[in-house]
Amino acid sequence: MIDEGWYFKGEKEVYEILDEMADLKFNVLHWYLTNNGGWKIEVKKDPRI
């Protein structure tokens, strides 16, 4: 889990986390960009997201 809403890590550290996740074969990333629970993005290509 990356919580950018509370603790901003920056681009370099996010890439390091993603590289480490790839090495460990993780396939789920929880990335909290904001603390507001109502913030959502509509993805028309895949509505299940």
Write out pLDDT tens, residues 5-31: 667 778 898 889 889 989 999 888 877
Amino acid at 44: K
Q: Is the pLDDT score of 34 beyond 80? A: no
Model-wide pTM > 0.85: no
Separation of alpha carbons 12 and 15, rounded Å: 5
Separation of alpha carbons 44 and 47, rounded Å: 6
Mean pLDDT across 24-43:
75
Separation of alpha carbons 3 and 31, rounded Å: 6
Cα-based distances in Å from 35 to 4, 17, 23, 39: 9, 21, 29, 9
Q: Is the pLDDT score of 46 beyond 80? A: no
**Best-predicted range by mean pLDDT among 16-20, 29-33, 35-39, 43-47?**
16-20
Separation of alpha carbons 5 and 39, rounded Å: 12
